[in-house]
Amino acid sequence: MRIGIGYDSHKLVEGRKLVIGGVTIPFKKGLSGHSDADVLCHAITDALIGALGLGDIGRHFPDTEPKWKDASSIEFLKRIVKLTYVNSYEVSWIDSVVIAEKPKIAPFIYDMQKAISGAGIPIGAINIKAKTNEGMGFIGRGQGIAAYAVCILRRVEQIT
């Protein structure tokens, strides 16, 4: 078995869509970044890359690459899930936390699980939790949103 951890944060700005866990959430601001800046997908992707021992998300999807401009981060996840199979692992479990003062994330969790399962992770293997930061720090001031994720990969036995 392998364990991975991922963390990400992005700044909230005007004039951007708010995409978290592959779901567009109605809000007056969105996350800034080269791709769609989906913090949750980035945290999960980094957890998977970490468990594979293959560096980090920036190495696989550099923000200098025009191809990834405004890209859907579900696509990143899809590619890394494929890479887990290439390396003879499968995703056994993902637990994650999205930390946002506003908007309320909880009502969108099921849609996020469905969107993430579209990247090839079984829906029953994805847990998402939503927290606020109790008004403290950059998250509490509404300047940004952060996410943490951990994953467990299970070795797929080769039957020959």
> Interface residues with Mg ion (CB under 5 A)?
8, 42
Closest distance between Mg ion and the C-beta of residue 10, in Å?
A: 6
Q: Is-contact 3 61, C-beta < 8 A?
A: no
Strands (E), 15-158: 18-20, 23-25, 29-31, 89-99, 126-131, 144-155
Closest distance between Mg ion and the C-beta of residue 73, in Å?
A: 8
Torsion sign (Cα): 132, 116, 56, 3: positive
Chain position whose Cβ is nearest to Mg ion:
42
- By beta-carbon proximity to Mg ion, the closer residue of 1 and 5 is 5
- By beta-carbon proximity to Mg ion, the closer residue of 42 and 78 is 42
Closest distance between Mg ion and the C-beta of residue 24, in Å?
A: 17
Contacts of 86 (CB under 8 A, 6+ apart): none
Closest distance between Mg ion and the C-beta of residue 82, in Å?
A: 20
Neighbours of 93 (CB within 10 A): 17
- By beta-carbon proximity to Mg ion, the closer residue of 126 and 144 is 144
**3-state secondary structure at position 16:** coil
- By beta-carbon proximity to Mg ion, the closer residue of 63 and 110 is 63
Identify which of 77, 86, 156, 91 has the alpha carbon closest to the alpha carbon of residue 124.
Answer: 91
- By beta-carbon proximity to Mg ion, the closer residue of 70 and 123 is 70
Closest distance between Mg ion and the C-beta of residue 140, in Å?
A: 20
